[in-house]
């Protein structure tokens, strides 16, 4: 009964619905120049060949053509900034019935969305044309809320952080590298359409409450969540795998630990019952 109650509770909390793996900052730094981290892999070949992403592929080539990876990411950011306003979307990629193609169509036609929407659409669009890209979530320890952005492979040896919502990117740096050396991270502004209010976007990163001045966890959702290609990595009842870089924080997915503890207690109870019957 305890496990049933815990399972129900797990399904009600966003991060507890995901199977969470932690990696140390040192390990993440070692993998900063690779296309995989922990259980996650961002090799783009299978997405480039997936018929399920035909609409993304056609859209991306039509809007942005061919070019360097970062140029395409900026082009996509500009398109979505012009296409739909900031607001609450009808559905996010964490939802079980999320459909990427339908989401692309809805927001291309003006349905509102926020940072989760923009990062998922940009990352999936890039993957569809064979460009490695990933959603990265910033979860600060000392301020409420969080933020979603994208990291795109530079085509050689590193990830580049791009924020489609605030219209910035770091020159030759991932968010992890920017957090390591915030004073050296060169922030470049993207000339977003005037329709989007990006006022204060520099302060968003540079101010005392900005993401470069707090203890920030970097969270990488598995690509299945926003592409729905192949099989998800997580087993039931978890919806997807999230790899979290940084220190272990129990305020993220705390019910997971009670869930595993409950399973352990039940298993110990079964072992004790078996031993008592045996002896």
Q: Output DSSP code: residue 113.
A: B
- Give the span between the Cα atoms of 66 and 129, in whole angstroms: 9
If you count them, how many residues does the chain have? Answer: 279
pLDDT-derived band at 30 (thresholds 50, 70, 90) equals confident
On whether the CB atoms of residues 198 and 167 are closer than 8 A, the answer is: yes
- Quote the domain boundaries for residue 62: 32-226
- 3-state secondary structure (DSSP) of residue 223: coil
- The Cα 175–Cα 44 span in angstroms is 21
pLDDT at 32 over 80: no
Q: What is the pLDDT of residue 19?
A: 78
In a domain, 113, yes or no: yes
What tens digit of pLDDT does each residue of 176-235 get?
999 888 888 888 888 766 545 555 566 677 665 577 776 788 999 999 999 999 988 887
Nearest CA to 104 out of 62, 136, 70 is that of 62
Helix (H) or strand (E) holding 51: none
Residue 241 lies in a domain: no
- CA 44 → CA 118, 137, 156, distances in Å? 19, 20, 14
Mean pLDDT of 257-271: 62
For residue 135, give the nearest of 157, 162, 171 by alpha carbon: 162
Please say if the pLDDT value at position 154 is more than 80: yes
- Quick one: angle between helices 254-278 and 2-10, nearest 10? 160
State how far the alpha carbon of 213 is from the alpha carbons of 114, 129, 275, in Å: 23, 35, 55
Q: How large is the average pLDDT for residues 32-56? A: 91
Non-local (6+) Cβ contacts of 248 within 8 A are 22
Domain count, the chain: 1
The token pair at 185 is 């991270």
Q: pLDDT > 70: what percent of the chain?
A: 74
Residue 21 lies in a domain: no
The answer to whether residue 59 scores a pLDDT higher than 70 is: yes
Domain containing residue 216: CATH number: 3.10.620
Inter-CA distances, 7 with 13, 96, 176, 238, Å: 11, 16, 33, 9
Question: CA 163, CA 147: separation in Å to the nearest integer?
Answer: 9
Within a domain: 272? no
* CA nearest to 47, candidates 119, 134, 106, 162: 134
Q: Per the domain annotation, does 204 fall within a domain?
A: yes
* pLDDT attached to residue 72: 97
The per-residue pLDDT for 183 is 81
| Pairwise CA distance, residues 109 & 116, whole Å | 17
Q: What is the pLDDT of residue 200?
A: 54
- Whether 164 is covered by a domain: the verdict is yes
How far is it, in rounded angstroms, from Cα 278 to Cα 81?
68
């Amino acid at each position: 009964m305890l496990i049933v109650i815990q399972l129900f509770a797990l399904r009600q909390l966003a991060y507890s619905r995901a199977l969470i793996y932690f990696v140390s900052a040192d390990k993440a730094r070692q993998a900063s120049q690779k296309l995989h981290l922990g259980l996650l892999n961002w090799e783009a070949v299978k997405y480039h060949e997936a018929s399920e992403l035909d609409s993304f592929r056609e859209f991306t080539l039509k809007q942005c053509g061919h070019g360097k990876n970062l140029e395409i990411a900026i082009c996509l950011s500009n398109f979505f900034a012009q296409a739909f306003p900031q607001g609450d979307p009808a559905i996010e990629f964490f939802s079980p019935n999320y459909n990427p193609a339908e989401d692309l169509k809805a927001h291309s036609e003006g349905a509102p969305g926020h940072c989760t929407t923009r990062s998922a659409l940009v990352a999936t669009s890039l993957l569809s044309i064979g460009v490695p890209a990933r959603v990265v979530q910033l979860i600060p320890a000392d301020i409420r809320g969080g933020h979603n952005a994208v990291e795109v492979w530079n085509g050689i040896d590193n990830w580049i952080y791009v924020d489609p919502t605030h219209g910035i990117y770091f020159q030759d740096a991932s968010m992890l590298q920017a957090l390591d050396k915030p004073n050296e991270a060169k922030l470049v502004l993207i000339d977003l359409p005037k329709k989007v209010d990006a006022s204060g976007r520099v302060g968003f990163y540079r101010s005392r409450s900005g993401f470069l001045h707090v203890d920030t966890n970097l969270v990488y959702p598995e690509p299945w969540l926003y592409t729905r290609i192949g099989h998800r990595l997580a087993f039931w009842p978890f919806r997807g795998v999230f790899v979290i870089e940084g220190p272990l924080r129990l305020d993220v997915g705390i019910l997971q630990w009670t869930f595993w503890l409950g399973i352990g207690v039940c298993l110990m109870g079964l072992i004790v019952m078996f031993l008592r019957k045996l002896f």
